[in-house]
């Protein structure tokens, strides 16, 4: 059995956003996307932004942001590799996301891909 | 008794695939979706169209808070492709109550609601976010979270510069939080 990837502070984590969680006029994510206590992400060094985005689009998501693992760890959260069927890059960020932490993640993540507002897809 | 039925509604159509709706003075196409959306009443001519069911809601373009709350009911389990739960009717009703309080507050304080309308977003943990943030609110920002059930309280996060304060509140305290946001002083 392959050893699980050990996430370190230099990693980048990718998170898909539902269109309702993104302010399309200001091109910014809202805290709504960063609330779950077991928050799924992709580890960038185990995939690519394009691959992750393709998976997101197949599931009806259309924005993708990246979060430096360093910021997550600094907030006392744990990042654990958690490969799933069809996605070896999958990981979870464990720990309670207070409203303050959710806003911190929304403010400090980088929007990697988002389609134009008028894109029918 | 004048009972409207599909039969006598369609009798007044110019084409078999369309129907004239007196309450809106328009001829509309009768697709299966429209047929499902029409609700007709007894004893009067009024016909109500639940337009929100006619086409998929556009979360990107539609920023109307009321519409966004209503359309939370469209989201099924795992709507975020992760593990987000669907929104219950009770929770959506409560979000509408908060929205109604907000409108009343703006009316009472003579605040232009259109300029202070929150951005409403579905949260991955099942809560509902009312957000006053971004370019429209450069000084003070507020996030209100509507809980999953009435067993939990509403939550808030106030931000002003580097200062943050988060906590819980009851509906009766909502005005005080809004007073903080809109700098209203007695």
Q: Are A97 and B125 in contact (CB < 8 Å)?
A: yes
Task: Give the residue numbers spanning the domain of B74.
Answer: 65-182
Residue B56 inside a domain? The answer is: no
Residue A103 inside a domain? The answer is: yes
Task: Give the residue numbers spanning the domain of A28.
Answer: 20-113
Mean pLDDT in residue range A30-54: 93
Concatenate the DSSP letters of all residues of A43-112 into one string: EGGGS-HHHHHHHHHHTT--EEEEEEHHHHHHTT-EEEE--BTTBTTEEEEES---HHHHHHHHHH-EEE
Mean pLDDT in residue range A9-29: 93
Number of domains comprising chain A? 1
Question: Distances in Å between the alpha carbon of A68 and those of B13, B29, B50, B132?
Answer: 61, 52, 44, 26
- Provide the percentage of residues in chain A whose pLDDT is more than 90: 72
Q: What is the pLDDT of residue B28?
A: 54
A 34-63 residues with CB < 8 A to B? 34-40, 56, 59-62
Q: Are B119 and A33 in contact (CB < 8 Å)?
A: no
DSSP type of residue A12: E
Indicate the average pLDDT of chain A: 90
Please, what are the averages of pLDDT over each run of 10 residues along chain B (186 residues)?
A: 40 50 53 44 40 75 96 93 92 96 94 92 97 93 95 95 95 94 78
**Shared-domain flag, residues B36 and B71:** no
Residue B109 inside a domain? The answer is: yes
Report how far apart the first and last C-alpha atoms of chain B are (Å, whole number). 56
Q: What is the pLDDT of residue A102?
A: 97
**How far apart are the CA of A79 and the nearest CA of chain B, in angstroms?**
16
Residue B57 inside a domain? The answer is: no
**Shared-domain flag, residues B158 and B104:** yes
Q: What is the pLDDT of residue B8?
A: 42
**How far apart are the CA of A29 and the nearest CA of chain B, in angstroms?**
10
Q: What is the pLDDT of residue A2?
A: 61
Residue A7 inside a domain? The answer is: no
**Shared-domain flag, residues B70 and B29:** no
Residue B55 inside a domain? The answer is: no
**pLDDT digits 0-9 by tens, A52-99:** 988 887 776 678 899 999 999 999 999 999 999 889 999 999 999 999
Number of domains comprising chain B? 2
pTM (2 d.p.):
0.80
**Shared-domain flag, residues B11 and B97:** no
**Shared-domain flag, residues B88 and B120:** yes
Q: Are B61 and A36 in contact (CB < 8 Å)?
A: no
Q: Are B37 and B48 in contact (CB under 8 A)?
A: no
> Which candidate, A97, A71, A74, A91, places its Cα nearest to that of A14?
A91
Chain B environment of A117 (Cβ under 8 Å):
60-61
Alpha carbons B121 and A31: distance in angstroms, whole number: 9
**Shared-domain flag, residues B24 and B95:** no
Q: What are phi and psi of A94, to 5 degrees?
A: -100, 145
Residue B73 inside a domain? The answer is: yes
**Shared-domain flag, residues B94 and B170:** yes
């Amino acid at each position: 059995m392959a050893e699980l990837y050990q996430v370190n502070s230099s990693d980048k984590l990718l998170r898909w956003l539902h269109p309702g969680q993104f302010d399309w006029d200001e091109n910014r994510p809202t805290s709504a996307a960063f609330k779950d206590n077991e928050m799924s992400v992709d580890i960038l060094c185990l995939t690519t932004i394009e691959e992750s985005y393709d998976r997101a689009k197949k599931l009806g998501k259309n924005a993708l942001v990246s979060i430096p693992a360093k910021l997550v760890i600094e907030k006392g959260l744990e990042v654990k590799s958690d490969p799933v069927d069809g996605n070896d890059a999958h990981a979870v960020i464990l720990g309670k996301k207070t409203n303050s932490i959710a806003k911190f993640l929304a403010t400090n993540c980088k929007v990697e891909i988002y389609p134009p507002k008028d894109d029918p897809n | 008794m004048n009972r409207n039925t599909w039969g006598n509604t369609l009798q007044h159509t110019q084409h078999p695939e369309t129907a004239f709706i007196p309450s809106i003075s328009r001829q509309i196409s009768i697709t299966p979706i429209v047929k499902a959306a029409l609700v007709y009443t007894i004893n009067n001519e009024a016909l109500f169209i639940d337009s929100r069911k006619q086409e998929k809601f556009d979360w990107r373009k539609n920023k109307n808070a009321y519409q966004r709350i209503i359309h939370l009911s469209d989201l099924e389990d795992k709507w975020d492709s992760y593990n987000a739960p669907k929104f219950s009717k009770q929770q959506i009703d409560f979000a509408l109550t908060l929205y109604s309080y907000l409108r009343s507050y703006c009316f009472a304080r003579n605040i232009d609601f259109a300029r202070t309308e929150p951005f409403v977003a579905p949260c991955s943990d099942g809560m509902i976010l009312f957000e006053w943030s971004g370019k429209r609110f450069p000084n003070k920002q507020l996030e209100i979270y509507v809980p999953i059930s009435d067993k939990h309280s509403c939550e808030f996060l106030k931000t002003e510069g580097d200062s943050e304060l988060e906590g819980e509140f009851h509906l009766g305290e909502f005005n005080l939080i809004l007073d903080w946001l809109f700098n209203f002083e007695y």
